[in-house]
Structures are given as structure tokens and as C-alpha cells.
Structure 1
Amino acid sequence: MPNFSPRAEYSEALPGWQLVKRCVAGAREVRKHDIYLPMPDPENKSAENLARYKQYKKRAMFLNITGRTRTGLLGAVFRKTAELQLPTGVEYLKENASGDGTSLEQLSKDSVGECLDSGRGGFLVDFPAVDGVSSMADMQGRRALIHHYGAESIIDWDEQVVDGVKRLVYVCLLECVSEFSPESLERSTSTQYRVLLLVDGRYVQRVYAEDGNTFTETEPTDKSGKPFDHILFSFYGAQNNDASVDKSPLEDLADVNILHYGNSATVEESGFISSQPTLFITTDMPTDEFVAANPNGMHIGSTRGYNLGKNGNATLVQATESQLARTLLKDKEEQMLMIGARIVQKAGGAETAEAVRIRYSSDNSVLGTIAGNVSEALKRAILDAERFMMGEPDEKATVFWLNQSFFDETMTAQDILAQVQLWQQGLIAKSDLRTNLRQGGVLEADRTDEKIDAEIETEPPVGGSDEQ
């Protein structure tokens, strides 16, 4: 029976991935897990203490800075449409990349989000198999699909040096399978393991049942029936696109976010306790006389009176709230801002956009790397889909690149003129000029060179009229 134990690096990184994902999910998800807000008196298992802890956790405020930061970072990448151009054979990927109606743009958005959460993920290119066959030649009408796998689904992998080149030879993917019964109207779920192997230079795919005892094997081939010489799985990461585990870009922020959650619980608990007044009574009356003089007991309220004897006295004492917990709370908020919770926030009205870029150059560098890595991995997946559908991939006609201009950088008239002069002097090509105009916000990102040239051909020539 195969051993499907997760790789050591996976097990070490898993708690950090779960922390970030739970923070992103919000307060309801965080409150489900007691590890993020330990019980003040964990040895006391009494019903009273458990009830107090329940209220203690309920009063704590989770300020979801991690989730808001993630949303802002995603918005920065997808504020402009990705540059996308595909050959005719795989144009369907634009609107339906994974077979369930997910577009390439949505697939890339999921991938960038996953990379922010866990620092890694991958794309599997597959062809729907029928009766163990997985080739275009035997399945007309079917299409190659690109499936996205998050870090938690990629449980094991291996790379080896083959012919002097480091290559991926093994990947194990954990999948959840859901089946619905129309007769009983019940849904059952199970897990299975999809194993990608490079055996004697040929790509083989196996799907193992949950018990690991049975499996089905297929050997995918391209359109011409030729087996693949590489595994059709493309890793992406926060630092690079190899199979190694990269640290989650949001993990440090999530750590401080959880500490802030704990400080908030302390502040709220302190405020709850200190806001409750306590009645202290002093009297020289014996106990039996005091009970006889106050047969209904003691109740705090302005409409009641009590007999405390000749020398009796009553005082309401209310504790003063400690400022230490509130100071710690504010410190955590400042730390989260320094880590990167502010996407773009100017210090004052006089600060220029360039100064903002400089202050956030580190964060932008990380986000730019993620956008670039996801773009490269997804393009490799598209090329593998072309091998299924077309035989030979068309790299020149395949363009996919996510936006990396996270600030408004509209070109000035002088900038545009300078670019045109560079083109006229033969220092850059017309395609370079148009690419720069797209990045500068002058041309829309989805305005390809072909569209522009086609419109120019249909328009009348530009010229002035001669006056007599």
C-alpha cells in the first residue's frame, strides 16, 4: 500500500497556512479555534469557568486586518485587466479554463489569493479521460482543462536531476470527492489521491482510492498520440516557481492580528469587570440581628433602604480600568500597519505619489513577484493545454501577464511624445510602444495590436484640407 503521508516541509508549514486562512475568513472562523485565545485558567474545568471562558471569547473583538489587506492587495493586481492573447485552438480557456465556467482571470485571481495566503500552489493540466484513455485523438469534442490546487492539497512532491536538469518527477495531490444521490437526496464525501509520476521519461497519472489499495492509471498523450516527457503540473510561489515551500506573505501580519485579538479580549474583560460596582458593608450588628433587620436581603437600588445599625456604613467600589492592555492593543495595531496592512496611505496631503511608491516599495516588490510568478506558471499551463489541443504549442501567440502597475501611472503628454520619438528613431519597436502605452494607462489592457491594426485599416487616412 502506498504511503501518502505529507512531506515534512508541508507539515511544518501547514499551521501557518491555516492561521492565515482562518484570519482571512474572519471572526466567526477564528472563534471556532480555542488555540488562538487560550483559556485564562486552563486547569479549571468547572462549568462556571467554562461558561466564563465562553463569554470571555464572545466579548473579544477580532479586527480582520489580514482579510482587508488581502482584499486590497488583490485589488491592486486586478485593477487592470491582464494581458491575454491565445491561439484559436485554446481560446475557450478565456471563459472556461477549468470546465466549471471559471475564466482564466478568475483562475488567476484565485491563484494570487492562494499565494498571498500560503505562498504556493499549482496548476494541473488534464484531459477528461474515458475508459482509461486520455488523448485528444480518442476523444473528439472534449477539451484540455486547467485545474488549480491550493497549498493544502499538494501534500508531497519530489524533484530529481535528469540529464543535468532538475525536473519534477512526483506530485501527490489530495482531492475531496463529493457524490450526490438523487434517490436519497444525500451527499457523501470522500478523499482520493491523484499521483503524477515521471516513469522512464514518460508522464503517468494514477488516481488512488481513499484506502490506497486500488487505483486507475492513465498515460496522457498529446494530440498526435505522443506521450509527454514532463509532468503537466506547474508550481507557483511567493518567491519562485520551484517545488520548495515559500513562506506566506501574510503570515507575519496574521500572527500580530491574533495577538491583537488576545489583547482585545483582555481589554474587554477588564472593562467588563471594572464596570461592575461591588458593595462593601461594615456594621457592628451581630449576624442574627442584621438578618432580622433586613429580612429580604441586600439589593442594590435607589428605591430600597437598609438597617446597618448605629455605626454601619455602605460603600460602592468600582475598579479603575488598567491602561496596560489598551497600550498593548494600540502597539499591535501600529505593528500591523508597519508589516503592510496599509496598502497605500499617504502621510499627508503634500506627499507625492512617488513618495508613496518609495515607502511601499518592499510590499510592491513582493506583490509584483507574486503576480509575475502566477503569470509564468499559468502561461506554462496554457502551453501544456495547447499540446493536448494543437500538438505543438504556439509560444509567440500565447500571452498572459497580470498587471504589475499598482499605482496610477498615467503618462503625461511629454512621456507619450518621448515614447513616439524612440519608436521613430528605431530604438524601440511599435509593439514596445504600444505595450508602454498600455502600462501607462493610455491604451486599454485588452486592446491588442491586432485589434488596433484592424481598426486602423478600416479608418480613412488622416490628413488636412487645402485652403484656396
Structure 2
Amino acid sequence: MPNYSAVRAEYTEALPGWQLVKRCVAGPREVRKYNEYLPMPDPLNRSEENLARYEQLKKRAMFLNVTGRTRTGLMGAVFRKTAEVELPPGIDYLLENVSGDGASLEQLCKEATGECLDTGRGGFLVDYPKIDIPEGQTSLTAAQTANSRAYIHFYPAESIVNWREDVIDGVKRLTLVVLHEKLNEPSEDGFEFVEKDQYRALMLLDGQYVQRVYSEDSQEGEESIPKDKSGAEFDHIPFHFFGSQNNDASIDKAPLEDLAEVNILHYGNSATVEESGFISSQPTLFITTDIQPDEFVKLNPNGMHIGSRRGHNLGKSGSAIMLQATETQLARELMKDKEQQMLMIGARIVQQSNGAETAEAVRIRYSSDNSVLGTIAGNVSEAVRLALFDAQRFMNGEVDEEGTVFWLNQEFFDQVMDAQAILAQVQLWQQGIIAKADLRTNLRQAGVIESDRTDDDIDADREADAPVLASEPGSNDQQGSVDDEQ
């Protein structure tokens, strides 16, 4: 029986880091489910009292979700503008329904970009419906393929458990990908579900793409050979990796892992500070008396209560003092400590600034983040584009590379354009160096023109306006007046 659930060593080594980031992104409630991130004060003491104290320690500890907030900010920077998309006929349905479940292409890219930030890895599988060509036909008609569509499915890093690349004819090619899937099978009444494991093996056997699905019910695997609408088999695996560094099958470093590590350390420091603050801020009574211990118990059978409703017998001579940490000073120190921790790990939530920063200063300060984010946006865009090519191979039989455009936004900051810069752009247009469309594109990127206003919208509004007396630069009327003067 094939060992279809085998896992690569690189996957096992990287998995704890992926889980750490995803738990941090999920927030405090998810992090507190695991005892590995907050050390127990007395790890050898397994008594109920010590375990109860540990649970209280976790409740008091504050997990400031800097990792999740940073991820949200980076995602917002990429998707602050819509992606540049142009799809040829035949696969234009993918724009609104890319995976067959109603998810749009933009939503698929958001999932992929977020996964790449979390783990530095992921992939797209182009899945084809099974179509049987009737005898006597060499290809399927449009009516026979009307409801048969290729879809693109996203797989996170944790689902890609095994893979292999081999050199074929001097080229490194993907020859195996194993995807771990979770299936929810309903009970007889339909109100309960049983989770089952399924493994989808994508293989390249003798130059032919073969797919096998393994499960507990089918351990030998159910095999299928995907074909395009003409009945031709595929000579490659239609699975495309994307990563934080490049798009090969190797595992890249998770961009948010370093931040998550510091976030967890801050969580541990917070637990220590909150625990010490909780203990030292409690009023503690100290007494001195000449009463013997047994006599003291008789006089105070319920212990000594703190308050003014009853008195206490301290014997012929005795005194009592109350010690308590200064509450306001302790609270200030706790707040300062947390703010400094946020600044140290690069949080953009609380920032100390001596004055207004220029846009260039902000770009320089975040240059490392931008370079990583730009690489991720480019890698995801390239993987999506290759997946769109494979969808075309099934739907259209051929690939229109020039007519297939997909590129995620990489302009993470608004381009500031002052009046002088706008005048310079107009002069370039007047001199014929750039076209009017280029001028308007630059003005859109700078925010001078709204990004959703097309050239047709602008021209339509201009026609509705009152006529301009002066002719446009470069027009025939202007040229004629210049000739008359000469």
C-alpha cells in the first residue's frame, strides 16, 4: 500500500513556526489555548493549586496582538488599490467565481497574500472537471462543455505535506505534490459532521499528469487523468507554488515569524509584570504581639479581618502596619513598559515622534517591510497568472499570454504631487513627450483624479461643461494661428 500520508522533513521542521504566527494572528483567545507559550512558574509542581494559579496567570497576562495588526496593515497596503486584471474570453468567469464556490479572484488573492505573510508559502491548483469524449468524436462541442469549467483552488502551506522536483531534459520540473484535505461527512440526520482526512496526490508519470485521491475508505487511491476539451492530456502538474522569496517548491522564511516570536516574549513579560503587580498591590497586614500562637487563634478564630467594623486583641503590647505598593506609580510603570515593548517590535500602533515626518522619511523607515511585501505581491501575481494560463488550456485549448494580465498593487504609499509637479506633467503632454492617457494615469496615481474615473468619464464630463475659449495645446486651431503670425 502506498505511503500517501508521508510528510517531508522540511515540512515538519517549519510547521511549528507557521502555527505560532497563525495563533498570534488569531489573537489572545487562541494563544491562551496553548500552555507552551507561557512558562509555568513551578513546572515540576502538578498540584491542583499550582495549575489553578497558572490559569489565573494566563488570564491576567495581556497578549497585545501586534502580529495580527501588522498583518492587517500590510494586507491593506497591497489591496488599497484594485489589481490590474484583464482576462481573455473563455475564462472571464473566474473574475467573479474563481474556485466554484462563489469566491472572487480578488478574495482568492487576499487569502494567498495573507498566507504568504504568515508562512511564506502556498499554492494554486487548477482543477478540471472529468469529461468523457463520446466515441467517434475527437473533441467536445461547445454545448457539451457548457457547464464544464476549470477552477483555481488555493492551498495553504499546512496542506502541502509532500512534494518532489526532478530534472527532466535538463529542466527542473514538479513531479509530485501531495495535498492534505479535510472533509466533513454529515451524519444520517444531517446535523452532525465527522471530519475525515483525504490526500490528493498530483503526479507526473511518464510525462503525463495523473491525479489520485487517497482516504481511509480508498487506500489504493482513485485515479483520474485530466484532459482538456480536445481530449489532450496535460504534460505538467497544474499546481503553482508562491513564496515570500521565490516561487519554487522550497520553503521560504515566514515574514511574520520574527515578529510573532517577539510578540510571544512580550506576552511572557506581561504575565510576569502583571503577576508581580497583582501580588505586590494587595494590602498586606503585619502585626507584632506578645500573645502566644494558640491563644491568638482562640482570640481570632476566623483570622484577622481587614476593615473598621471590628477590633483585634494584640495583647499587652503590640502594633500593626499596612504595606501596599503605590498604585498610581505601578500602573504608570506597567503602561510605559508595554508602550516601549510595542515600539521595540516595530508596532505602528503607538509611535513616538518629535515632529512631522516627511513622506520620504516614512518610506525609508518602512523600506524593509515594503521590499518583502513587494516581493510577496509580485510572487502571488505571477502564480495567479500561471494558474490562469492552465485554466485557458482546458477552456480554450491555447494560451493568450498577451491578453492575460494580472498584477497586484505594489504602490503602498500615495505619490505626492504638488502644483509644480502637476505643471511639469502638463508640459510633458504639451510637448508631445507623453500622451493624454499617460497624464491622466499619473494624476490618478497621485490622487489628483479619483482612481475609479476612466478617460471616458472625464471626456463625458468635459463635453457637458461650458466650452473653453482657449484651444487645447497642440490643436489644429492653435497651429493655424501660429502659421498666421508667421
Matched, 1:166 2:167: no
- Which AA in structure 1 matches 2:173? R
Please identify, of 288-297 and 346-355, the stretch whose mean Cα deviation from structure 2 is larger.
288-297
Q: Aligned pair in 2 of structure 1 residues 330, 255: CA closer, same or farther (>3 Å)?
A: same
RMSD of aligned alpha carbons = 3.3
Aligned residues: 460
Q: Distance in 2 between matches of 1:291 and 1:463?
A: 102
- The offset of 1:207, in angstroms, is 0.9
Q: Aligned pair in 2 of structure 1 residues 390, 279: CA closer, same or farther (>3 Å)?
A: same
Q: Distance in 1 between matches of 2:281 and 2:377?
A: 50
Residue aligning to 1:2: 2
Residue aligning to 1:87: 88
SS at match of 1:260: helix
Residue aligning to 1:63: 64
Please identify, of 107-116 and 159-168, the stretch whose mean Cα deviation from structure 2 is larger.
159-168
1:336 to 345, 367, 370: 345
Pairing 1:4-403 to 2, within 5 Å after superposition: 4-129=5-130, 139-181=145-187, 183-210=189-216, 213-294=219-300, 297-318=303-324, 329=338, 332-337=341-346, 341-342=347-348, 347-403=353-409
- Which AA in structure 1 matches 2:2? P
Q: Aligned pair in 2 of structure 1 residues 422, 391: CA closer, same or farther (>3 Å)?
A: farther
- The offset of 1:262, in angstroms, is 0.5
Question: Is contact 2:343–2:350 with CA below 8 Å preserved after alignment?
Answer: no
Question: Is contact 1:7–1:155 with CA below 8 Å preserved after alignment?
Answer: yes
- The offset of 1:168, in angstroms, is 1.0
- The offset of 1:282, in angstroms, is 2.0
Question: Is contact 1:132–1:217 with CA below 8 Å preserved after alignment?
Answer: no
Question: Is contact 1:66–1:257 with CA below 8 Å preserved after alignment?
Answer: yes
Q: Distance in 2 between matches of 1:305 and 1:345?
A: 52
- The offset of 1:410, in angstroms, is 5.0
Q: Distance in 1 between matches of 2:294 and 2:192?
A: 68
Q: Distance in 2 between matches of 1:257 and 1:62?
A: 8
Please identify, of 393-402 and 180-189, the stretch whose mean Cα deviation from structure 2 is larger.
180-189
Question: Is contact 2:98–2:152 with CA below 8 Å preserved after alignment?
Answer: yes
In structure 1, the gaps of 5 or more residues are none
- The offset of 1:434, in angstroms, is 6.6
Q: Distance in 1 between matches of 2:259 and 2:87?
A: 38
TM-score (norm 1): 0.88
Please identify, of 165-174 and 453-462, the stretch whose mean Cα deviation from structure 2 is larger.
453-462
Q: Distance in 1 between matches of 2:25 and 2:222?
A: 37
- The offset of 1:408, in angstroms, is 1.0
- The offset of 1:411, in angstroms, is 4.2
- Which AA in structure 2 matches 1:71? T
Question: Is contact 2:414–2:445 with CA below 8 Å preserved after alignment?
Answer: no
Question: Is contact 1:155–1:174 with CA below 8 Å preserved after alignment?
Answer: yes
Question: Is contact 1:193–1:210 with CA below 8 Å preserved after alignment?
Answer: no
Please identify, of 292-301 and 271-280, the stretch whose mean Cα deviation from structure 2 is larger.
292-301
TM-score (norm 2): 0.85
Please identify, of 137-146 and 190-199, the stretch whose mean Cα deviation from structure 2 is larger.
137-146
SS at match of 1:88: coil
Q: Distance in 2 between matches of 1:343 and 1:182?
A: 50
Q: Distance in 2 between matches of 1:212 and 1:47?
A: 46
In structure 2, the gaps of 5 or more residues are 472-476, 478-486
Question: Is contact 2:129–2:226 with CA below 8 Å preserved after alignment?
Answer: no
- The offset of 1:226, in angstroms, is 1.5
- The offset of 1:298, in angstroms, is 2.2
Q: Aligned pair in 2 of structure 1 residues 59, 131: CA closer, same or farther (>3 Å)?
A: farther
Q: Distance in 2 between matches of 1:354 and 1:76?
A: 16
- The offset of 1:457, in angstroms, is 11
- Which AA in structure 2 matches 1:335? M
